[in-house]
Amino acid sequence: MKKIKILIIEDDAEISRLTAMYLEVEGFESKIVDDGEKALATIKHYLPDLIILDLMLPGMTGIEICKQSRAFYQGPILVLTACDDDVSEVSLLKLGADDFLTKPLKPHVLVARIEALMRRSKPNMPIDVHTGHSKIHIDQASQQVIFEEKELILTSSEYEMLVLLERNIGNIVSRADCCQALRGINYDFNDRSIDMRISGLRKKLNDDHMPYKIITTVRNKGYMLFNG
């Protein structure tokens, strides 16, 4: 199956690196451009299926890139904005953007937006079907979680943690990735709050006594959602 190609136009090296890493874990192909002047040429050469575009860039602003690229690029553009950017949602849509997210990014929200945009723009393009935990059902639209046919009442941070673990079911999720889901993509991961959130999830999943059967701890590596 052909991978969906995503062009990340972002001058913050750490944000772009972490975004690309997370997208590639999710099965996307990605490329990074860190300068507005190079962006238009890269769009023409790389032919991405979707563009993630930061507004504040050196060389040429994201607004100009969005306007000029629409002369030749028809794919979806997902704009990244800071909370204090003086650009409204209506203005972004009029300039040619299809959707926008504010920083700091939450990885599972980013992936959900990308999948929604791809379904709208290329309804016949196959997108990998995610197979989740047999006893856990997550409705990302309503953020409702059902476990063993009962609704779980989770905090927002517990929900974000569970989504990350469930999307990577059977694979180890590092503490760094957990922190990105918990606090945003640009977060320093030296924090014991991760253990608190995992402990809270285990209690609500009736898995708070060793040996853990649902969320396992992989020593010195991270956590894994086990579908046993």
For residues 213 and 223, what is the distance between their CA atoms, to the nearest angstrom? 12
- Give 33 or 226, the one with higher predicted confidence: 33
Domain span holding position 26: 5-121
The residue among 121, 152, 179 that closes a domain is 121
In contact, 130 and 167? CB cutoff 8 Å: yes
Q: What is the CATH number of the domain that holds 46?
A: 3.40.50.2300
CATH number for 163: 1.10.10.10
Q: How far apart are CA 35 and CA 111, in angstroms?
A: 24
**The pLDDT of residue 196:** 83
The structural domain count of the chain equals 2
Question: Among the residues of the chain, which ranges form H helices?
Answer: 13-25, 36-46, 62-69, 89-95, 107-121, 156-167, 175-183, 193-204
Q: Are residues 114 and 148 in the same domain?
A: no
42 and 91 part of one domain: yes
Q: What is the pLDDT of residues 180-227, one digit of tens each?
A: 666 554 445 556 778 888 898 999 999 988 888 899 988 888 888 887
- The answer on 217 and 113 residing in a single domain is no
State the sign of the Cα–Cα–Cα–Cα dihedral 173, 176, 177, 183: positive
pLDDT digits (tens, 9 = 90+) for 57-111: 888 989 899 999 999 999 999 998 876 566 666 677 778 889 888 888 888 788 8
pLDDT at residue number 42: 96
Q: Do 10 and 85 lie in a common domain? A: yes
Q: Note whether 54 and 39 are within 8 A (CB).
A: no
- Residue 42 counted as domain residue: yes
Q: Please state, rounded to an integer, the average pLDDT across all residues of the chain.
A: 83
Residue 131, domain member (yes or no): no
Instruction: Record the pTM.
Output: 0.60
Bridge partners, residue 50, by sequence: 6
Asked whether residue 100 falls in the same domain as residue 41, the answer is yes
Q: How many CB atoms lie within 10 A of CB 139?
A: 9
Residues 24 and 99 in one domain: yes
8 A C-beta contact, residue 51 and residue 69? yes
